[in-house]
Amino acid sequence: MAACSVGFRWLAQGWQQRVRQACPLEAISVSWHGVSAKSKSRRFSVCAIYSHPLLWEEIQQLLAQDGVQVRGVRLQALQGELRRLSLPRAKVYVLEGSGPHQLTSTLLGEILGKNPKARVVVLAEKLSDANTFPFLRQGAKGLLTYRDLREQLSRALRAVADGGYWVPRSLLSRFVEGILNSASGRGRTLAPGNLSQREQQVLDCLLENLANKEIAAKLFISERTVKFHVSNLLAKFGVRRRADLILLCYQQRSLP
């Protein structure tokens, strides 16, 4: 635990400066390795993409406690070689985002381009609208700061592995509000094939940012019926909150 504590304090203090000094992001290539542990809990695989070994050490220690399989890919070569990046198959990818925004965006695009069903959690020094909204638009399912790594990493990975999102509520609310206020946030979405006609109508109303009362009036049904259909929609899409559902629909429509 001592090593873990030291690593965590290091992560929380001057991460970007230390990373650039120890492993310049302008010169990166790839090596990968892995560990796994047994657990009675549900298991899933994780691939961590990082540039500094202390981050990898921290992730290993945190996930080993929960029996999560984790492989690490260290970036050590030229950015131009990222398109030849070979990644282990995993259900969830953890992507270090301490370097230049464009590099993180390129890596995220490469991951989702090669594995559209991948679920990616991006780590960042801080989470602001400017530096995280682009990742959500690209398809990231989780956002986490280095400061919160120790307390939230395992929960975040399990949440996204189960089909949900791990994004701070206030940040997600602002992002979803932006979606609903723009033309790109409206229109028919890619939906599971087992939606009823009424569920599709309710979903379309949700994407118009209508409240339950407004949906009920528009569709000539009761608010209780609206709540019933919303609950069914959340279950069918595999998410827990309306905001998650709206974000998922937006990301699905953004797929090539």
Q: What is the pLDDT of residue 249?
A: 84
Q: Are residues 210 and 140 in the same domain?
A: no
Which of left, alpha, beta for 207 (phi over 0: left; psi -120 to 50: alpha)?
alpha
Q: Are residues 199 and 154 in the same domain?
A: no
Secondary structure class of 40 (helix, strand, coil): coil
Evaluate if residue 12 carries a pLDDT over 60: no
pLDDT tier for residue 65 given thresholds of 50, 70 and 90: confident
Q: Are residues 103 and 30 in the same domain?
A: yes
Task: List, for residues 100-129, the tens digit of each pLDDT value.
Answer: 778 888 889 889 988 888 999 999 999 999
Q: What is the pLDDT of residue 224?
A: 94
Residue 51 resides in a domain: yes
Residue 7 resides in a domain: yes
Evaluate if residue 99 carries a pLDDT over 90: no
DSSP state of 67: T
Evaluate if residue 14 carries a pLDDT over 70: no
Q: Are residues 114 and 209 in the same domain?
A: no
The number of distinct structural domains making up the chain is: 2
Q: What is the pLDDT of residue 8?
A: 38
Host domain of residue 222: 182-254
Distance of CA 233 to the CA centre of its chain: 21
Q: Are residues 12 and 72 in the same domain?
A: yes
Identify which of 37-41, 49-53, 184-188 has the greatest average pLDDT: 49-53
Q: What is the pLDDT of residue 84?
A: 65
Distance CA 150, CA 156 (A): 11
Q: Are residues 204 and 155 in the same domain?
A: no
Mean pLDDT of 135-144: 93
Evaluate if residue 194 carries a pLDDT over 70: yes
Q: For the domain that residue 196 is a member of, what is the CATH number?
A: 1.10.10.10
CA-CA-CA-CA dihedral for 55, 57, 58, 64, to nearest 10: 140
Distance CA 196, CA 141 (A): 27
Find the range with the poorest average confidence among 8-12, 145-149, 218-222: 8-12
Q: What is the pLDDT of residue 20?
A: 39
